[in-house]
Amino acid sequence: IIGKQRNGPIGTVKLKFFHEHTRFEELEEHYGEYVPELGPPPAFGV
């Protein structure tokens, strides 16, 4: 749980974690593509 709001709407938001800055941001629709300023996507299962 990242945040809680009493009597507010509920839902699911896909996030990615930036460990260099210890923060979360919303996951873009095109996640997995190469974005030059962020570098290549992480390798899973390696």
Q: What is the pLDDT of residues 1-46, one digit of tens each?
A: 566 778 877 788 787 888 888 887 877 765 555 555 655 666 665 5
Where helices occur in 1-46 by DSSP H, the ranges are: none
* pLDDT attached to residue 19: 80
Domain tally, the chain: 1
4 domain-assigned: yes
46 falls within a domain: no
8 lies in which domain range? 1-40
Q: Do the domain assignments include residue 45?
A: no
How high is the pLDDT of residue 23?
84
Angle at 29 between CA 28 and CA 35, to 5 degrees: 55
- For residues 18 and 37, give the distance between their C-alpha atoms in angstroms, rounded to a whole number: 13
Give the Cα separation of 36 and 27 in Å (integer): 16
